[in-house]
Amino acid sequence: YRQHGSLRPVRFLIRRGFKIYPAFYVLILLTVVWRLAAGELAWKSVLVEVFYVQNYFFWDALWTHTWTLAVEEHFYLCLAAALPLMARRGGDDPFARWMPAVGLTILAIQGWRTVQLSVQPHYDVYYDSHHRFDALLMGLMLSWMWRYRSDLVDRWVRPHAWRWLGLGAALWVPVLVGKDVLWSESTGGIGTFLLDLGCASGLAGLLCVPAPTALDRLRPVWTALARMGFFSYSIYLWHIPVRDAVRWVQPTVEGPEWYLREGTYMALSILVGILAARLIELPVLKVRERWYPSRSRGSLTEQPTHRG
C-alpha cells in the first residue's frame, strides 16, 4: 500500500498460496502413501490436514506441528479481508486509526485465553486460531510502526536498542527456567504472552542496534543464519518427519548418546529441508514470479545477502 497506494488482497493470497501449499501438500501426499502402506491411515486425518483445520482437530491430524500453519493461514485470510476495509478511506497511513483497536485485541485474546484455560485442557486452547492471533497481531503492529512511524522508532527504540534486546531476553527467562510457566493452567498461559513480547522486543532492538558493534563481529554467523532462514519453511515442514525417523532408528538413548541423536536430528532436518526447498519450493516460486510477479522490489527466490 505504501508503495502503490492500493491493495490487491486476492493477488496476495495467490502469491502466498504458491509459497505455502505445494510443499505442504507434497508432505501430506507422501504421508498418505506411507500410512497406507503401513495400514495406519485414517481419512479424517487427511481431510483435516488438506482443509487446514488441523489446529481445531489436533488429535486427528497426521502431524503434530502442522497446526501452526493452520493458525497462520486463518490469520492471513482474515488479514486479506480486513486490510482493504481498514484502507478504504485512503491517505498516507489509513491504518493508524486502527492500531489502538489492534492493541486492545491483543490484550483481549490474552485475557480470553486465560479464562479458557480455567475451564478446559490447555491443548484445546493453545491450538485454536482465535486463541493465538495475538502473536501475529504483534507482528502486524511492529510492521506498521517500522514502515509508517519511523519517528516513534527513532525516538523510543533506536536510542535504546540494547535495552530492548535485554528486555526481550529477560522476558524469555521465566519460560526457559520452568516450562510450567508456558503450559500450566495456573499461570493462565502467561508464558506464551511473555514469549511473544520477548520476541517482539528482541526483534525491535536487534533491528536498531547501531553498527559497527560487537554483533557485527559475528557477521559470518548472521549470514549463515540468514541463508538457513531462506529455507526455513521447508525445514519446518520436514523437521518432525525427520525427528520421528531418527528416533525410530534409535528409540531409547541416555547421556551423551541422547545429545548425539538430537544433534543428528537437527542437522538432518536442515539438510532435508534445504533439499526439499530446492526440489519443490523454489521451482514453484519461480513459476509464481513469472505468472504473478511481485509489485515490490525483491523476490522470495533470491538468495539473501548481507549488506554491511
Of 176, 210, 244, the residue that ends a domain is: 210
100 and 81 together in one domain: no
72 and 100 together in one domain: no
Q: What per-residue confidence (pLDDT) applies to 303?
A: 47
How far, CA to CA in Å, does 134 sit from each of 56, 108, 191, 291? 17, 9, 13, 33
Question: Is 305 inside a domain boundary?
Answer: no
In whole angstroms, what is the distance from residue 132 CA to residue 73 CA? Answer: 12
Number of domains in the chain: 3
Question: Is 106 inside a domain boundary?
Answer: yes
Question: Is 303 inside a domain boundary?
Answer: no
Q: Could you read off the pLDDT of 91-135 as tens digits, one per residue?
A: 999 999 999 999 999 999 988 887 887 777 566 788 899 999 999
184 and 267 together in one domain: no
Of 94, 126, 156, the residue that ends a domain is: 94
Question: Is 307 inside a domain boundary?
Answer: no
- Cβ density class 256-275: b for 16+ within 10 Å, e for less: eeeeebeeebeebbbebbbe
78 and 176 together in one domain: no
188 and 112 together in one domain: yes
Question: Is 199 inside a domain boundary?
Answer: yes
105 and 195 together in one domain: yes
Residue 189 C-alpha cell reads as: 498461559
Of 210, 238, 273, the residue that ends a domain is: 210
pTM over 0.95: no
Residue 158: exposed, middle, or buried by beta-carbon count in 10 A (0-12, 13-18, 19+)?
middle
Question: Is 23 inside a domain boundary?
Answer: yes
Question: Is 35 inside a domain boundary?
Answer: yes
160 and 237 together in one domain: no
The residue with cell 538413548 is 253
Question: Is 308 inside a domain boundary?
Answer: no
Whether residue 240 contacts residue 64, with contact meaning beta carbons closer than 8 Å, is answered with yes
- How far is CA 101 from its chain centroid? 23
DSSP conformation letters of 209-220 = --SSSGGGGGHH
Q: For the chain, list residues with pLDDT below 50.
A: 186, 299-308
Whether residue 172 contacts residue 198, with contact meaning beta carbons closer than 8 Å, is answered with yes
185 and 237 together in one domain: no
Largest CA distance in the chain: 62
Domain that holds residue 12: 1-94
Q: What per-residue confidence (pLDDT) applies to 304?
A: 41
